[in-house]
Amino acid sequence: MFHSVAQEFGLTAVGVLMTGMGEDGAEGLGVIKSAGGMTIAQSEDTCVISGMPRAAISKGYANKVVPLDALAAFLIQHYGGERAASENVDKPEKIKKNEKKEINERTTVSSHRT
């Protein structure tokens, strides 16, 4: 999948590699980096299984290493468009509150369909 993203989006591609084992995801992240895209790996200390992010970091494929609890805010701040300009970017507690609201809204919609 990362290979397709790199091929299609090149310099504008953003790849995020999170917890997992093996090296296939790390290699895909390397392809995005080679295409000029931004690559982000979850920090090892916040992973359940850190093999894949560790491989990406040790091979130099990760432009940024971000802890799990800061990942959403990082992505919104750097790639969120209009949302990045909102007051939520630097206030993780507000993001969490909004995420809970969105989850509740989705849950309500889902329960009406079943």
Mean pLDDT of 74-96: 64
- 24-64: per-residue pLDDT in tens? 899 999 999 999 999 999 999 999 999 999 999 999 999 99
Q: Are residues 13 and 59 in the same domain?
A: yes
63-81 pLDDT per residue, tens: 999 999 999 999 999 888 6
- Domain that residue 8 falls in: 1-67
Count of structural domains within the chain: 2
Q: How far apart are CA 5 and CA 26, in angstroms?
A: 14
Say if residue 63 is in the same domain as residue 89. Answer: no
With respect to residue 75, please indicate whether it lies within any of the assigned structural domains: no
User: Does 43 share its domain with 15?
Assistant: yes
Shared-domain flag, residues 46 and 97: no
- Same domain for 63 and 86, yes or no, is no
How confident is the model at residue 17, as a pLDDT?
A: 94
Tell me, yes or no, whether 73 lies in a domain. no
Asked whether residue 8 is assigned to any structural domain, the reply reads yes
pLDDT score of 68: 95
Mean pLDDT in residue range 16-26: 91
CA 48, 50, 51: angle at the middle one, nearest 5?
135
**Which pTM value belongs to this model?**
0.69
Whether 29 and 3 have beta carbons less than 8 Å apart is answered as no
Same domain, 63 and 93: no
* Domain identity same for 55 and 20: yes
For residues 20 and 63, membership in a common domain is answered with yes
